[in-house]
Amino acid sequence: MNSINTKSVHTASMKERTIQPKVMPLYQTSAFAFSSLEELEGYYEGNGTYLYSRTANPNTDALGQTVADLEEAPRGVAASSGMSAIFAGILAVAGAGDHILAAEDVYGGTFHLLKEELVHLGMTVHFADFTDLSQVEQILIDYPEVKLIFSESITNPFLRVEDLAVLEQLKKHYGVKLMIDNTFATPYTIQPYALGADLVAHSATKYLGGHSDVTAGVLVGDADLIRVAESRIVNLGMNLSPFEAWLTIRGIKTLAVRMKAQTENAAAIAAFLEGKAQVWYPGMGAIVTFALPESMDVSKFFSSLGWIKIVPTLAGVETTVSYPFGTSHRALSLEEKEKIGVTRQVIRLSAGIEGAEDILTQLGAAFVN
């Protein structure tokens, strides 16, 4: 190897790997090399692990298994976003001709996926008020084609805590699967798989990553369902990049300490807002939703928040606010928004890790202005 052209391409990759890193290395590679055709053939015979990063990569595998361990589930798979994780979970259970039963008060993006996109795949979705269990059960009775019940452990944006024990009873009685989006709660607060869900989805973009610098999803659950979901992710190109997986794993290391601080701040914020606005806070999690009085100008309130940023997402270490009417639930019709209570006065606040007194002072100033 004499040419500088050849050396510059090959020398680094030929160095012996004897370093023992403290944290998992980043495997930022699109493919993996083989020493012989026999070794390559061995991969297809089940004797190898990695071929091409769309199909598998050590970083994405580690992320899937890490979240599975946190949820006390046997297996997990990483995806390109929370929506990809939810979509893969649906496709692991249902297909053309099948029906899905979903809570009507789920995240707007999920509502759109269920209502609009699944139609093109030949599925039918029934939405129900999950606070009325007789309505939920009646749909299961009337439509034996239902294969999956879908809800969120803590709903977005009104923070209704789902009754997972009842949903587990219904799914067992009617022989269906149960999938729960656990993004808002995280495994720090609730572990839906341990409480009977078959699949648990996360937008890892939010609390798992925790620093607003990744877009990622994770689906965990029964091993046989995850194998099917993994196939859908690979074949539909919904895989996560190694770097995004590596960043998310790094974020998960501080999940517990972040959630503790953010949950404490959220409780203080909810108490502060009582009497000033209509407040939704279930006593857990780091999100507080509130509705300003009709007499207040919501636009002026947002403009008076100073260092509290207005964003369309949540869960970073900074305290932020979002506007469900114009972002997360924008695609819903006015009638659909009114049905679940998303009015122009509703604000969703994501508590950060700042000092509680600083957050309350800034919020107080916005109410004065």
Q: Which domains does the chain have, with CATH numbers?
A: 37-252 (3.40.640.10), 256-368 (3.90.1150.10)
pLDDT score recorded for residue 17: 62
For residues 144-148, give the mean pLDDT: 98
For residues 56-77, give the mean pLDDT: 97
CB 288 within 8 A of CB 351: yes
Rounded-to-integer distance, Cα 319 and Cα 359, Å: 8
pLDDT score recorded for residue 34: 94
Q: Please write the tens of the pLDDT for every residue from 69-113.
A: 999 999 999 999 999 999 999 999 999 999 999 999 999 999 999
For residues 291-311, give the mean pLDDT: 96
pLDDT score recorded for residue 19: 78
pLDDT score recorded for residue 309: 96
For residues 297-314, give the mean pLDDT: 96
Cα distances (angstroms) measured from residue 54 to each of 39, 109, 140, 236, 304: 20, 25, 37, 10, 45
| Of the candidates 286, 220, 211, 287, the residue with the CA atom closest to the CA atom of residue 249 | 211
pLDDT above 90: residue 63: yes
pLDDT score recorded for residue 16: 57
pLDDT score recorded for residue 3: 85
CB 110 within 8 A of CB 85: no
pLDDT score recorded for residue 14: 60
Rounded-to-integer distance, Cα 164 and Cα 176, Å: 14
| pLDDT above 90 as % of the chain | 88
For residues 284-302, give the mean pLDDT: 97
pLDDT score recorded for residue 232: 98
